[in-house]
Amino acid sequence: METADRSESNSARRTVQFRRDWSTTAPSHAVLEALAIVEDTTLLALRDELGTALYDYVDPEALDAIIGSGRSTPIELSFEVQHLRVTIATDGRLVVSTTRE
C-alpha cells in the first residue's frame, strides 16, 4: 500500500510522510517523487527546481540495494538534499521535511 500524509506546522516547515512497498517501488524513485511533492513540482522539473540531482547527494543504486533489498534487519537512512531532509527505512517509511528561512 502506498500512502502519503501531509502535515504542516507552519508556512516555514513542511513534513510529508509516505508509506511505500519496496517490492513495487524503487526507493530512489520514491525519494524523487516525494521531493517533487514537497517542492510542488513535477518529476521532470525537479532537477531544475533544485538545481541539482539526487546522485549529487546519495548513490541511487546503493539506496535501492540497501533499503529495497527485503532485509530482515531494520535499516533507516537519513540524508539532506539542499534544504530538504529525507529519512527512508526498510519498513516502507519515507519522510521529507523542509525548513526554509
Provide the domain limits for residue 33.
3-99
pTM: 0.84
pLDDT tens-digit readout, 56-81: 999 999 999 999 977 788 999 999 99
Do residues 98 and 84 touch, judged by C-beta distance below 8 A? yes
Torsion of CA 3, 88, 75, 80, to 10 degrees: -170
Please check the confidence at residue 101 and state whether its pLDDT lies above 70: no
Do residues 38 and 59 touch, judged by C-beta distance below 8 A? no
Q: How many domains does the chain have?
A: 1
pLDDT band, very low/low/confident/very high, at 85 (cuts 50, 70, 90): very high
Average pLDDT of the chain is: 86
Q: Which three cell numbers stand for residue 88?
A: 527512508
